[in-house]
Chain A
Amino acid sequence: MKVALVGNPNTGKSTLFNVLTGLRQKIGNFPGVTVDKKVGFFRLPDGRNVQLLDLPGTYSLYPKSKDETIVFEVLADKKHPVHPDLVIIIADASNLKRNLLLYTQLADLKIPVIIALNMMDMARKGGIDIDVNELSKRLGVQVVPISARQEENIDKLKEAISNASSVALQIDTIEVEALAPELISQIKHELGIANSYAALQIAHQHQNIHFLTARQSQRISELLDQSLFYSQKLQAEETIARYSFINDVLFDAVTIRKEEVIKESISNRIDEVLTHRIWGFTIFFGILFLIFQAIFAWSEFPMTLIENFFVWAAGISRTWLPSGVLADLLIDGVLAGLGGVLIFIPQIAILFAFISILEDTGYMARVTFMMDRIMKKVGLSGKSVVPMIGSLACAVPSIMSTRNIESWKDRIITIMVTPLVSCSARLPVYTLLISLVVPDTKVWGLINMQGLAMMGMYLIGFVSAILVAWIMKQVIRSRERGYFIMELPVYRIPRWSNVALTMYEKVKTFVFEAGKVIIAVSIVLWVLATYGPPGRQAAAQQQYLSQDYVQKYSAEEIQSLQSSAKLENSYAGILGKLIEPSIKPLGFDWKIGIALITSFAAREVFVGTMATIYSVNGDDQQSVRQKMSRARNDTTGQPVFTVAVAWSLMLFYAFAMQCMSTVAIVYRETKSWKWPVIQIVYMTGMAYLAGLIVYQILK
């Protein structure tokens, strides 16, 4: 049996979904939109299995964003693979009037429906008494009062599901045909559908609906033109009619005790502090700092554990597997790639724990409320603040967290600029290069030059992100009209099992969806850095076995000289030499070219690659730095890492999209290659330009 869960945002919909299905959840894709298709499973008392679909929260079947069209599509299209046999609509009892608007729309689609009336206790405390039987009688549907948080009456809801009839029995809410009699019958005839309200909705939404063919949509456009259809006016009429029906029902089913509005005033009092112009921002920045600290510092220990585990696993595999190409592929390619995916788990889990708490408590809506004015100016949403701060640690979880930005345009812009903020992977690169060219001295006795340079790099990241956001705001065209009408939900204690499930779900999504791309790319990178044209690598290694070298160097030194030669003659090395002419204006030689290529795995790989190229044993920063500072250009004999080169390189790393995990997650979040490709192109362009300018000025 297929059931869909529908409801307004902030009604406890996902809590109910989690309570009903627990861990038996699966996330897939709806084609064409960026909403996840969340499906869960549970068993009814009568033994039947239910497949429960969680549809995005919405106030109305008229979508406010592209993603919300999915609700109508799934419910109206009988051929849709997840079209439900029954709809559960969850309604907030303390806010019943607005919640019933969506109910009346669903009811008119003539799908069997049950109302789950959530938060009855809050309604009662707020002075609202609901006569459930009367409500049920007036609407002609089963109404089950539940508490999703306390898991109360969930068995009653399951019973109601088993008792539900397979035909829609609800009472008609408004006279749909009266709104546009001729047009509705024409559309019904044209598309061969029976439901009048579906026909009316199609009239309004036909341009965005996937289940219509281009011809059908064209035909409907013609019908609309003939009948002088005025979408907004008709929608306004419909909404007024619906509310008048609702008011009638509620007049009989609800009594309001005037004397108490306690719960709300508590929320109000909290808001006086949390959105205060001084306290509000103090607390907000405190929370941001805590989040930043957490992703940065708390994740270090588990990340080291994961890293060590993979080092250990690689070691074990080396001893067990017969050495050869297959072992190399498995260990250096697949296992290393897997490690590269799993290493993100702590950061993703921590960021989503915070975000889920902020969302659950209702605080996130206040953040949006406070920051809207500033963020709007640069084309971002108030909700972009948390991802931007999060990306100081890592862009990957931050990009995943942009899900809660409703406006498509705001969300895309946030995703596009987030990787410009300096993440923790750039830190080792900056540290190495700064220590190479910036003197460790103090100006005016207190400001450390190296610290100042580091701060400068972080500032550049932030400023460029804001500038690019502002430019994108002008460039990206969007059919959505920019408006801001947002519910401020009542403050609540977070539900910890929701928090845990969110963490689990996000980690799972990342590992299984972005993980595929990351492992594939890391195998490709490994092949590039390990193999070269036949014979070339062997020949290059061979020269170090001659008597001259063996006498002059220790076995260890010869080994690192060999691995350096091997890298130089690998495909990556050849590619590095190939791109040398194009990166020469930035002051980079082919060795840096190799690092640019291998850094696509992750930016910090730069340090390791430098170590290999300059034949350093291990990648201890100290010795890498010494080797790099002694490096001389083969032809001119001048130092390679001059001040100009180091700064050009740092700026290149500040801007360039050198992170396959970010590319993979942008692909997964936007569900197309268009945006990751645009991102790679514009960021690489910026990086190149910045490197070029700085090098040409400083050299």
Chain B
Amino acid sequence: MKLSQLEPGQSGIIKEFTDLEMSVKLMEMGCLPGESIVVERYAPFGDPIAITVSGYQLSLRKKEASTIILQKP
């Protein structure tokens, strides 16, 4: 399941990334495999999204969120 498929309020644990370049940026920002992510809200026009990860809030576009694969619950 991709991060971009979660609804606000849902959470998941990062498993892996589908895009290496993006993964480098995301990991620097604390999105590491094994970290849990909560989707807080979507922007009014549906994109970008706001998530909580590593104890802070981060916003990213759905395009970026779709490169994050979550563990199966």
Contact assessment for B22 and A483 in the assembled complex, using a CB-CB cutoff below 8 Å: yes
Contact assessment for A372 and B47 in the assembled complex, using a CB-CB cutoff below 8 Å: yes
In this complex, what residue of A is CB-closest to B47?
A373
A98-B54 contact, Cβ under 8 Å, with A236-B27, A487-B29? yes
What's the minimum C-beta distance from B64 to chain A, rounded to whole angstroms? Answer: 6
Contact assessment for A59 and B29 in the assembled complex, using a CB-CB cutoff below 8 Å: yes
25 examples of A-B residue contacts, CB within 8 angstroms:
A94-B55, A95-B56, A98-B56, A232-B24, A236-B20, A236-B23, A239-B24, A264-B57, A275-B43, A276-B44, A277-B44, A369-B48, A369-B59, A370-B44, A372-B47, A483-B25, A483-B61, A483-B63, A485-B25, A485-B26, A485-B29, A485-B58, A485-B60, A486-B59, A487-B29
In this complex, what residue of B is CB-closest to A484?
B61
Which residues on the B side are within 8 Å of A268 (C-beta)? 40
Which residues on the B side are within 8 Å of A280 (C-beta)? 44
A97-B54 contact, Cβ under 8 Å, with A243-B32, A369-B43? yes
Tell me, in angstroms, the Cα distance from A370 to B50 when the chains sit together: 11
In this complex, what residue of A is CB-closest to B56?
A95
A372-B40 contact, Cβ under 8 Å, with A98-B30, A487-B56? no
Across chains A and B, which 10 residue pairs bring their CB atoms closest together, nearest first?
A277-B44, A373-B45, A488-B57, A98-B30, A239-B27, A60-B28, A235-B24, A484-B61, A232-B20, A95-B56
Which residues on the A side are within 8 Å of B21 (C-beta)? 232, 481
A interface vs B, CB < 8 Å?
59-60, 62, 64, 94-95, 97-98, 101, 126, 128, 232-233, 235-236, 239-240, 243, 264, 267-268, 271-272, 275-277, 280-281, 365, 369-370, 372-374, 481, 483-490
Q: Any chain A CB within 8 A of the CB of B2?
A: no
Which residues on the B side are within 8 Å of A486 (C-beta)? 58-60
Q: Any chain A CB within 8 A of the CB of B15?
A: no
Contact assessment for B55 and A97 in the assembled complex, using a CB-CB cutoff below 8 Å: yes
Contact assessment for B48 and A62 in the assembled complex, using a CB-CB cutoff below 8 Å: no
Q: Any chain A CB within 8 A of the CB of B73?
A: no
Tell me, in angstroms, the Cα distance from A126 to B55 when the chains sit together: 9
Which residues on the A side are within 8 Å of B61 (C-beta)? 372, 483-484
Size class of the B contact interface (CB-based, 8 Å): 20 to 34
Tell me, in angstroms, the Cα distance from A21 to B57 when the chains sit together: 31
Which residues on the A side are within 8 Å of B25 (C-beta)? 64, 483, 485
- In B1-24, the 8 Å CB interface with A consists of 20-24
Which residues on the A side are within 8 Å of B60 (C-beta)? 484-486
Which residues on the B side are within 8 Å of A372 (C-beta)? 43, 47-48, 61
Contact assessment for A488 and B43 in the assembled complex, using a CB-CB cutoff below 8 Å: no
Contact assessment for A98 and B29 in the assembled complex, using a CB-CB cutoff below 8 Å: yes
Name 8 extra pairs, CB < 8 A, besides A62-B24, A370-B43.
Answer: A98-B29, A98-B30, A240-B32, A271-B50, A372-B48, A484-B59, A487-B56, A490-B57
What's the minimum C-beta distance from A208 to chain B, rounded to whole angstroms? Answer: 16
Specify which of A128, A240, A281 is in contact with B27 (CB 8 Å cutoff): A240
Which residues on the B side are within 8 Å of A483 (C-beta)? 22, 25, 61, 63-64
Which residues on the A side are within 8 Å of B50 (C-beta)? 271, 275, 369, 488
In this complex, what residue of B is CB-closest to A58?
B28
Which residues on the A side are within 8 Å of B41 (C-beta)? 271-272, 275
Tell me, in angstroms, the Cα distance from A374 to B26 when the chains sit together: 23
Tell me, in angstroms, the Cα distance from A272 to B58 when the chains sit together: 15
Contact assessment for B20 and A267 in the assembled complex, using a CB-CB cutoff below 8 Å: no
In this complex, what residue of B is CB-closest to A481?
B21
A267-B57 contact, Cβ under 8 Å, with A277-B44, A373-B43? yes
What's the minimum C-beta distance from A87 to chain B, rounded to whole angstroms? Answer: 19
- Which of A233, A268, A281, A488 lies at the interface centre, i.e. has the most chain B CB atoms within 10 A of its CB? A488
What's the minimum C-beta distance from A253 to chain B, rounded to whole angstroms? Answer: 15
